[in-house]
Structure 1
């Protein structure tokens, strides 16, 4: 996923709106403040207060990941309008 999906130009453009952090689960200090990780890769969309908005585990191809990001953005906008 790192090279094919996250390395894609369109995905990188979409993720510029976010703060992205790569965490290696082998380092306990890296994961202590994160929700429980059930598998890899794990992707979390979180608020600045570390509340999970959306999470998913597993590989995405470029098209599916872009669609997933769009779905998360819709969920965020809907929550803000309430």
Structure 2
């Protein structure tokens, strides 16, 4: 698997963790009126999902490919410098 493919995979995983964190946080707010530990558990799961997103974001920072600059100022995604 190339670095570009790993970069894209980590971006997708990070986005899924962020979406899960938002959904779980909204559920914890919606379930807060019922009381008990249910809302607290969803809030804890949201925090863990957010921490997972941050972790995969940090990993992606070190995996992402360095792109070549093209003459028009954009980046060449298909031919990264470190392949």
TM-score normalized by the length of structure 1 = 0.31
Q: Which has the higher contact order (CA 8 A, sep 6+)?
A: 2
What is the TM-score normalised by the length of structure 2? 0.31
Relative to its length, the structure with more strand (as a share) is 1
